[in-house]
Structure 1
Amino acid sequence: MTAPGRRSSTFTRLLRHGFTDPSAAERLLAGEELTGVRSDPVLLEALGATADPDLALGGLVRLLEAQPDPAARRGLLDTLIAAKPLRDRLLGVLGASAALGDHLARHPHDWQALVTYEPQDLHPGVTEFERGLAEADDPVALRVAYRRCLLSIAARDVCGTTDVAETAAELADLATATLRAALALARAAAPDDAALCRLAVVAMGKCGGHELNYVSDVDVIFVGEAVEGADEDKALRAATRLASHLMRICSETTVEGSIWPVDANLRPEGRNGPLVRTLSSHVAYYQRWAKTWEFQALLKARPVAGDPELGEAYLAALQPLVWQAAERENFVADVQKMRRRVVENIPASEVDRELKLGPGGLRDVEFAVQLLQLVHGRTDAALRSGTTLKALQALADGGYVGRADAVQLDEAYRFLRTMEHRIQLYRLRRTHLVPEDETDQRRLGRSLGLRTDPVAGLNREWKRHASVVRRLHEKLFYRPLLDAVAQLAPGEARLSAVAARERLVALGYADPASALRHLEALASGVSRKAAIQRTLLPVLLGWFADSADPDAGLLNFRKVSDALGKTPWYLRLLRDEGAAAENLARVLSAGRLAPDLLMRAPEAVALLGDGDGRAGSGLEPRGRAPLEQEILATVRRAAGAEQAVTGVRGVRRRELFRTAAGDIVSSYGTETQPAEADQGALVDRVGAAVSDLTAATLAGTLRAVVREGWGDDLPTRFAIIGMGRFGGHELGYGSDADVIFVHEPREGVEEREASQAANRVVAEMRRLLQLPSADPPLLIDADLRPEGKSGPLVRTLKSYAAYYRRWSLVWEAQALLRAEPVAGDEELGRRFVELIDPLRYPADGLGDDAVREIRRLKARMESERMPRGADPKLHTKLGPGGLSDVEWTVQLLQMRHGSTLPGLRTTRTRAALAAAREAGLIEAEHAGTLDEAWVLATRVRNAVMLVRGRAGDTFPSEPRELAAVGRYLGYGPGHVGELLDAYRRTARRARAVVDELFYGA
């Protein structure tokens, strides 16, 4: 016995052989089960070669204990020591799979299935597995026979006799044999049903693709037909009973556990559809109703059991439809959206451990390969394999994928699939999560051949391969397009011109010939610029394809690159700052406004970078104070008023681009930042940014005019009052600046001189701001002044007071609800507000006559101003539930209660609505309905301006423009109809609230 504190030589040897609990291993070796071999170096070396020597030794002892007598135990030990193939197989399985160790302990003779080591045993097929299952005459016996066959597959796998692709194919063949055996049991149990129908079992998913996991749902589709002379309805019911029984045989848990779930949810209509359909019913469904992902799933369809002729007829009927799927509208977008949806549904706590579904996981490889197969398999039958690795090789051979990319992706996929196999093999449980426990990671790393620091090695290799997949899975689709036009690798198979056009059309490019010319111009040559473009374009093309107008995105990128391509910082920005390239792609393909602004100031691309480290932080709108400071500094440097306003316009152009780009990026989202969920916050941000910019622009223009005409000594105080959406901080991209002008003569200045000066200021401001320019116009609209267009353009404060005291109409008081000083003399602006407050918030509220007048004016405006031919239900301003409805309702509450409720004394619509809700003037539900409608209508108007480059109050009629508006509002390709329905529904609910609160209905 070893003295306390001293380690025995056996203990040390066990440590050296990889045991993590040498003390426990010593006790097991000292047991009677291992008498005679416990010190045999061959046994220790073989145990040390396994993934988990402790697990292998424990499993061996349990197996020996389970032998029926000492002679059987001795025979097993002798064979184990003498026969290296058996020793490697048996101990390899015991060290990798606790579940198979449990099976051997329950069925102690099954180890003999590992004795045979003949060439024909290396790669058994369906026939050999059928022989192995032949004697199973009930579900329990079938499970035992299945595990015995699985034992031999696992032994070949862990010993390296088969590679991961061969192992997956063997598992699929075993599944095929098992489905046939289960169907035979079901038929034997119901011979009358079997006599009525023909039933074919079509494997889908990994089983159909000959790439099954150790533990996986086996996806199937059932096809049934009546035998000659039988009633079809009765035959289908019989076939359904047989199919259901087959599923129970495989799926139900018995004393021997279960085999695997049989999943028929890929059938037409999924769980809601009949389990068994006739062939004609299947064909009719796929011709009329099937979605893109259902054709994608059919890529792997393979008849495996039941009536072989019926199975082949199913395949022959549906395969042609599979290869037409890429012609469907929004095909690529549908496939990519399905992939994104899978990722989004992964629990946040698991996404970093998800081997199959997470970013850089197995599904990324499979989706990328399937996408290319569906696009190019129409014309190239060599691509029509259901097996991922075979399809990837065929894509590389045909030039559809670069060979180097294909090799890297093949290696990564094999490594990740092997990880998945070994994780599942341990407990024979369906999981794709990399274990967190260090012991499990150690066993997993050793099973992959990583013996030096297996935990660190496992994580290093896993992350490396996942990174390769993340980098290549999108690039795989786009890189060959560049190789086709750049022609830099003459020895490699290259995408043909026809295939390149096919791929671009599938991506949504309406003019593939022009797109190829743009790619050639951007990516050809050996310059540094072309090399960087070739690196950027694969991902940029993907982002363009995710938009409503890929052609515009690519064209605009070429224009920007032509303008800035020789500027070193431009390419460096796109290459090195992760957010910049994606932000640029989103902006360039989102419509006309932002790209047009950028084309006139290409250096504004710099705003798209990471800035202070937050993605797109350069797109945060600047506040009023810094804007005005910069604009006034620009005016000071200018030689004259026209030059000053040209400089002011330059600042406005850049800042409009900043706001529009930030709006687009926040609305669309990026790979690193999801789309902003709070639509109201987006509207408020744009409204405040454009209003602040307009105010600063007017302040700068005012300073330029005064400076040129009077130095800094204008003979009258002068203030600009924002009205309407301007005063409410709610301007959109295409809004006019509603204003009124007020002045007050300085001491000692005659009123006539002061008025002349004030009118000259206004006239000159309007002239300067209307000088011909490619920039979005800034129109000053002063029609809300007293007496409207027929009244003086500028009044003194005293004149305003006299007019409002004697002549003011109710609509003028209502218009003043959103009056707020925006530029000029601050003290004068404050006094103007003091003047109008009693008018807009009358102390006694509104009388019935005033309320009736407001309602009459509202009804008149709806009838007279609605454009001829416009659909009122989709008119965002004047239509039912539109902006006017919400604003007039809120303003009526303000005029009635503003004198007693300070919260209502605001120029902002949403703030006033919130105050009315808090004061109990409107129910919370009604307030929410009005707020939602106002925000949506404002978002639509902003979207129309961003997309078309000109203002509009209705949805565009041109399909691409409408799709772009939908994309901005969060409705992906093919879902514009849902947007229009949502708008009508939201507006309808708002109008019901307006009818109650405004019209008193």
Structure 2
Amino acid sequence: MIARGRQETTTGTLARQGFGDAGRARELLDSTGLADHPSILADLTAAADPDLALLGLTRLLESVAAPGELLAALDGESDLRARLTRVLGASRALGDHLTRHPEDWRELRGHDAARQPGAGEYRAGLLHAVGADPSGASVPVADLAGHPTARVATALHAAYRRRVLHLAARDLTGITELDDIAAELAGLAAAVLEGALALARAEDPAAARLCRLAVVGMGKCGAGELNYVSDVDVVFVAEPATADAGEQEALRAATRLATSMMRVISEPGSEGTLWEVDAALRPEGKNGPLVRTLASHVSYYERWAKTWEFQALLKARPIAGDADLGEQYLAQIAPMVWQAADRPNFVDDVQAMRRRVEAHIAPSEAERQLKLGRGGLRDIEFAVQLLQLVHGRSDDSVRSPATLTALAELSAGGYVGRADAGELAESYRFLRRLEHLVQLYRLRRTHLLPDPNTDEGRRDLRRMGRALGLRGDPAAELLAAWRRHTAEVRRLHEKLFYRPLLNAVARLPESEARLSPEQARSRLEALGFLDPAGALRHLEALTQGVSRSAAIRRTLLPVMLGWFADCPDPDAGLLGFRQVSEALDNTPWYLRLLRDDVRVAERMARLLGTSKYATELLLRAPDAVAMLADERDLAPRHRAELRTEAAAILHRHASAEGAVTALRSLRRRELLRTATADLLGLNDVTTVGTALTEITAVTVDAALRAAIAEVARTRDAPPPVRFCVVAMGRFGGGELSYASDADVLFVYTARAGTDAETAAASARAIAAELRRLLELPAADPPLVIDTALRPEGRNGPEVRTLSSYANYYTRWSALWESQALLRAWPVAGDSDLGAEFTNLIDPLRYPEDGVSESGIREIRKLKARMEAERLPRGADPALHTKLGPGGLSDVEWVVQLLQLRHAHRCPELRTTGTLRALEAARDAGLVEDEDADTLAAAWRLASRIRDAVTLVRGKAGDSIPTDVRARAALAQALGYLPAEDEGSASEQLLEDYRQHTRRARAVMERLFYDS
């Protein structure tokens, strides 16, 4: 009983010392005799994972030839003890390596174990591992008999792991700083590449004689800041070995060597896979040749390279192979890097790169991403690189490829505040340490924090926390520190690039980085501002002074400038913000709203920097900014609610002009609400069309009431007529766009006892007054009343009686007028008269016998003539959303022909909306599902593009712009984002539109012309 009690006490002590499975730990300590070595036990309990460290040491003692020697060394050498237990407690993979190569524990012993080797030592050591001489030029042929690559590559892999073991021991015991660890890992990777290239040369000596091959490191390897497990990015440069050697033959030989070298490193073996050699950053990426000559590289970068490729070249460095050729490459490429910010596509490419990074994050990983997530390593690297590209043009002191060195250089040059640089460097080191600890465990490439919601994830976090020296609740403390650092990184990322711009124009603390006006203009140009001098004036006006408003704007603008920079027109965005801010300067809620709700400021920046249409509306009613705070305030309002508000407006105003002016304010607010929701992606195109139609209908109805009242006032009697406005075209179809006219017909009937001439004069007066009121001068988007679809067109009377319509349609109506009446919908005025008009036209638009063959031929001829004659001169039909092939007209005419032919027997087709009628035709079996989907998709896209053209330009347009910049702005407003291998947003939009319209045109020709 006593013995048992002592064992339980010992087990409890082990548990308190950090062992997760104290019982198992006790068994291992007893079986190995480690229980009799208190100094070893003490170091085991200090390891990141004592259980893992004990298990690894047990396996090592079982594998080593002389366990007694190892135990004696551990007892007598505290440094060895600390290094070995720290490694075994943090890395299962290095524990496995020691089990395979137990004598490698000696790498952690003595003075050399604490010394950082030089790059030359790494290179010589790894070349020796593959039997090559120090030049890397040869490997003994005898060693290459049979299958040499697998055997010798295994020796290379084992030698690499041995050096990683040495390095990790110094890392985990705090002997070597993170900066040196990363640089050492890059040097080690370069040595492996040199060893693998030596193997490739020995395997193919003929190829080695034909060419010179340089390996240029890119990314973290080129910058000397590699992780424990990263893809090693490289670019290959080759030249003929002799003057008389053929270039193509040399390139083929170099390609064989490069391919073989990559295989040696990347293929798994008994030592596992080291890392992938990635050559995707070469010219043309994976589609380009693996190896190029120096001249070919230079030619590509001079003619075809995008800005992001020069951003990648910031970190280029020769690391293996022919050193002279590598230096020649760097000498010719480097000057182009520092001219990249002058390129016309600089901003677009930088923004595209940022979006690609964000797009690569899987939603399930976003909250645990150390590298790509918000506040992660890429935020720091991206900001530093962008600042380097901008300021490195004229300041060669900020051109270091390594992130931390470059950050220090930027701070020394005054481009980043000293305090900010210090905080950013601290966060960068912390995040890199987490990344290293995650990777060390299994020596696998990952950038994800363990999942704290799983048992395994919590154990991993505990191990990492202990490795960082956290002891209370290591997992919780690690997560808290990580969240603190990522929040700080995100804050500084947003501040780093933009805050010094304000310092150039505002009185801010001298401790902050301050740019000269010239430097500030340079940075604004890099952000995409076309008028940097004007932008500086706006910033000065917004931030000067000591008022509370100026102080809040100084806080907001660093972030908002970033949002403006992401917009198609940063200049307009900043100007609009200044104008709105000045208009609301004395409104206490405005800046408080922007400060306290970041969504409002972000949405405002997006509207102002994207849409001239929305900006003009907002400037007319700046207090409408308040609706940006809640998505519910951006939802379309129902017609009944709008009619109630319009009626209240009419009741409040004695004059017709005053009433309609107030009605315009109502319409302006609803247009802004619709445009805002549209630009923010909250409404689809049919919702937009419905919302625009509803507010137009309510405005026309209320204005008509005001017009009738005004006519009654001037004539001292109510008008002796019933009057109705019938919507036509897109208005009648409930499909208005932002720039659509209101196509209408005016219908009236005389009241009993009224002679025809008096009634006609009264009806003309009402129509004229309605036009006058709606066309009063104003800065709002106009509401144009168009009656061109009336009988006899512009040659006929604008106002007709119901009986006149009946007489005309009975005697003179053309088939095209029946087609136009398919969209007729009474929207204002006398509802009974509207119903009577509907009953009158139904037999015309839904003919009992359908359409005759001659009528169908007439419609087809009319369609062909319209395509030939109505397209604007000089317009590209393929880009015209209305009249071009597969555009709106094609879809609408197909649907309207189906209605004319079948609506009499198929009541579901009796609708004025294009998509509703198309859906009814599908349900009735008149259109195949696939054809209906094709037509609907093309119609929606064309409608969205027309709307977006108006939103971006502030005026109507039916064609996709041919100007690349204008088209890119349009694409961005539509939500198109650049994808990695699909070109720019502009090209994506064109490709999407052409694909949809091509398919729609094929369906249209089959259904319209062949049916």
Q: Which residue of 2 is the match for residue 48 of structure 1?
A: 45
* Deviation of 1:558 (Å): 0.9
Distance in 2 between residues matched to 1:953 and 1:98, nearest whole Å: 64
Give a deviation string over 1:68-117, Cα, whole Å, max 9, x none.
2xxx3222222212221111111111111111111112222111111123
Tell me the TM-score normalised to structure 1 length: 0.93
Distance in 1 between residues matched to 2:103 and 2:865, nearest whole Å: 94
Preserved contact between residue 418 and residue 511 of structure 2 (Cα < 8 Å): no
Q: Secondary structure at the match of 1:109?
A: helix
Do residues 999 (structure 1) and 1009 (structure 2) align?
yes
* Deviation of 1:158 (Å): 0.6
Distance in 2 between residues matched to 1:406 and 1:692, nearest whole Å: 54
Q: Quick one: structure 1 residues 864 and 439, their matched pair in 2 at CA, closer, same or farther if it must change by over 3 Å?
A: closer
Aligned equivalent of 2:529, options 509, 512, 515: 509
**Which segment drifts farther, 174-183 or 124-133?**
124-133
Preserved contact between residue 239 and residue 250 of structure 2 (Cα < 8 Å): yes
Q: Which residue of 2 is the match for residue 126 of structure 1?
A: 119
Equivalent runs, 1:673-688 vs 2, <5 Å: 682-688=684-690
Q: Which residue of 2 is the match for residue 28 of structure 1?
A: 28
* Deviation of 1:179 (Å): 1.9
Q: Which residue of 2 is the match for residue 663 of structure 1?
A: 678
Q: Secondary structure at the match of 1:818?
A: coil
Equivalent runs, 1:317-396 vs 2, <5 Å: 317-396=332-411
Q: Quick one: structure 1 residues 177 and 522, their matched pair in 2 at CA, closer, same or farther if it must change by over 3 Å?
A: same
Aligned equivalent of 1:578, options 585, 592, 598: 598
Aligned equivalent of 1:563, options 583, 592, 595: 583
* Deviation of 1:493 (Å): 4.2
Distance in 2 between residues matched to 1:967 and 1:455, nearest whole Å: 42
**Which segment drifts farther, 822-831 or 419-428?**
822-831
Q: Which residue of 2 is the match for residue 245 of structure 1?
A: 260
* Deviation of 1:369 (Å): 1.3
Q: Which residue of 1 is the match for residue 82 of structure 2?
A: 88
Preserved contact between residue 307 and residue 345 of structure 2 (Cα < 8 Å): no
Q: Quick one: structure 1 residues 452 and 950, their matched pair in 2 at CA, closer, same or farther if it must change by over 3 Å?
A: same
**Which segment drifts farther, 396-405 or 209-218?**
396-405
* Deviation of 1:728 (Å): 0.3
**Which segment drifts farther, 436-445 or 492-501?**
492-501
* Deviation of 1:886 (Å): 2.5
Q: Quick one: structure 1 residues 958 and 346, their matched pair in 2 at CA, closer, same or farther if it must change by over 3 Å?
A: closer
Distance in 2 between residues matched to 1:250 and 1:238, nearest whole Å: 19
Preserved contact between residue 722 and residue 822 of structure 1 (Cα < 8 Å): yes
Tell me the TM-score normalised to structure 2 length: 0.92
**Which segment drifts farther, 650-659 or 123-132?**
123-132
Equivalent runs, 1:630-779 vs 2, <5 Å: 630-666=645-681, 682-710=684-712, 715-746=720-751, 752-779=757-784
Q: Quick one: structure 1 residues 721 and 464, their matched pair in 2 at CA, closer, same or farther if it must change by over 3 Å?
A: same
Distance in 1 between residues matched to 2:686 and 2:62, nearest whole Å: 75
Q: Over the residues paired in the alignment, what is the CA RMSD in angstroms? A: 2.3
Distance in 2 between residues matched to 1:960 and 1:192, nearest whole Å: 52
Q: Secondary structure at the match of 2:505?
A: helix
Do residues 155 (structure 1) and 138 (structure 2) align?
no
Q: Which residue of 2 is the match for residue 64 of structure 1?
A: 61
* Deviation of 1:688 (Å): 0.8
Equivalent runs, 1:591-610 vs 2, <5 Å: 591-609=611-629
Q: Quick one: structure 1 residues 491 and 418, their matched pair in 2 at CA, closer, same or farther if it must change by over 3 Å?
A: closer
* Deviation of 1:751 (Å): 5.2
Do residues 544 (structure 1) and 558 (structure 2) align?
no
Q: Which residue of 2 is the match for residue 174 of structure 1?
A: 188
Give a deviation string over 1:678-717, Cα, whole Å, max 9, x none.
xxx7221221111101111012112223334448965433
* Deviation of 1:347 (Å): 2.5
Do residues 622 (structure 1) and 637 (structure 2) align?
yes
Distance in 2 between residues matched to 1:720 and 1:233, nearest whole Å: 78
Q: Quick one: structure 1 residues 156 and 735, their matched pair in 2 at CA, closer, same or farther if it must change by over 3 Å?
A: same
* Deviation of 1:748 (Å): 5.6
- Partner amino acid, structure 1, of 2:185: L
Preserved contact between residue 360 and residue 469 of structure 1 (Cα < 8 Å): yes
Q: Quick one: structure 1 residues 566 and 130, their matched pair in 2 at CA, closer, same or farther if it must change by over 3 Å?
A: same
Distance in 2 between residues matched to 1:663 and 1:802, nearest whole Å: 44
Distance in 2 between residues matched to 1:337 and 1:707, nearest whole Å: 57
Q: Quick one: structure 1 residues 93 and 506, their matched pair in 2 at CA, closer, same or farther if it must change by over 3 Å?
A: same
Distance in 2 between residues matched to 1:861 and 1:257, nearest whole Å: 70
Q: Secondary structure at the match of 1:729?
A: coil
Q: Quick one: structure 1 residues 262 and 941, their matched pair in 2 at CA, closer, same or farther if it must change by over 3 Å?
A: closer
Give a deviation string over 1:33-61, Cα, whole Å, max 9, x none.
22xx5244433321221101111111112
Distance in 2 between residues matched to 1:234 and 1:998, nearest whole Å: 59
- Partner amino acid, structure 2, of 1:694: T
Aligned equivalent of 2:518, options 487, 498, 501: 498
* Deviation of 1:26 (Å): 1.0
Q: Quick one: structure 1 residues 752 and 766, their matched pair in 2 at CA, closer, same or farther if it must change by over 3 Å?
A: same
Preserved contact between residue 215 and residue 429 of structure 1 (Cα < 8 Å): yes
Q: Secondary structure at the match of 2:111?
A: coil
* Deviation of 1:727 (Å): 0.5
Distance in 2 between residues matched to 1:279 and 1:704, nearest whole Å: 78
Preserved contact between residue 945 and residue 952 of structure 1 (Cα < 8 Å): yes
Preserved contact between residue 199 and residue 310 of structure 1 (Cα < 8 Å): yes
Distance in 1 between residues matched to 2:103 and 2:278, nearest whole Å: 33
Q: Which residue of 2 is the match for residue 300 of structure 1?
A: 315
Distance in 1 between residues matched to 2:498 and 2:233, nearest whole Å: 31
- Partner amino acid, structure 2, of 1:305: A
Determine what percentage of the aligned residue pairs are the same residue. 60
Aligned equivalent of 1:954, options 946, 955, 959: 959
Distance in 1 between residues matched to 2:396 and 2:923, nearest whole Å: 67
Preserved contact between residue 2 and residue 8 of structure 1 (Cα < 8 Å): no
Q: Which runs of 5+ in 1 are unaligned?
A: 667-675
Do residues 446 (structure 1) and 466 (structure 2) align?
yes
Distance in 2 between residues matched to 1:664 and 1:237, nearest whole Å: 52
Q: Quick one: structure 1 residues 182 and 889, their matched pair in 2 at CA, closer, same or farther if it must change by over 3 Å?
A: closer
Q: Which residue of 1 is the match for residue 8 of structure 2?
A: 8
Distance in 1 between residues matched to 2:42 and 2:6, nearest whole Å: 23
Preserved contact between residue 326 and residue 375 of structure 1 (Cα < 8 Å): yes
Do residues 220 (structure 1) and 241 (structure 2) align?
no
Aligned residues: 976
Q: Which residue of 1 is the match for residue 477 of structure 2?
A: 457
**Which segment drifts farther, 521-530 or 719-728?**
521-530
* Deviation of 1:27 (Å): 0.9
Aligned equivalent of 1:865, options 870, 873, 877: 870
Q: Which residue of 2 is the match for residue 922 of structure 1?
A: 927
- Partner amino acid, structure 2, of 1:568: P
Q: Quick one: structure 1 residues 253 and 625, their matched pair in 2 at CA, closer, same or farther if it must change by over 3 Å?
A: same
Preserved contact between residue 397 and residue 493 of structure 1 (Cα < 8 Å): no
Q: Secondary structure at the match of 2:102?
A: coil
Do residues 850 (structure 1) and 850 (structure 2) align?
no
Distance in 1 between residues matched to 2:288 and 2:809, nearest whole Å: 71
**Which segment drifts farther, 329-338 or 559-568?**
329-338
* Deviation of 1:785 (Å): 2.2
Q: Secondary structure at the match of 1:60?
A: helix
Q: Which residue of 2 is the match for residue 673 of structure 1?
A: none
**Which segment drifts farther, 782-791 or 519-528?**
782-791
Aligned equivalent of 2:548, options 524, 528, 531: 528
Distance in 1 between residues matched to 2:763 and 2:605, nearest whole Å: 47
Preserved contact between residue 333 and residue 507 of structure 1 (Cα < 8 Å): no
* Deviation of 1:985 (Å): 5.1
Distance in 1 between residues matched to 2:394 and 2:47, nearest whole Å: 48
**Which segment drifts farther, 726-735 or 915-924?**
915-924
* Deviation of 1:142 (Å): 1.9
Aligned equivalent of 1:190, options 193, 201, 204: 204
- Partner amino acid, structure 1, of 2:555: T
Equivalent runs, 1:804-953 vs 2, <5 Å: 804-953=809-958
**Which segment drifts farther, 187-196 or 203-212?**
187-196
* Deviation of 1:800 (Å): 2.8
Q: Secondary structure at the match of 1:571?
A: helix
Q: Quick one: structure 1 residues 487 and 837, their matched pair in 2 at CA, closer, same or farther if it must change by over 3 Å?
A: same
**Which segment drifts farther, 482-491 or 959-968?**
959-968
- Partner amino acid, structure 1, of 2:263: R
- Partner amino acid, structure 2, of 1:264: A
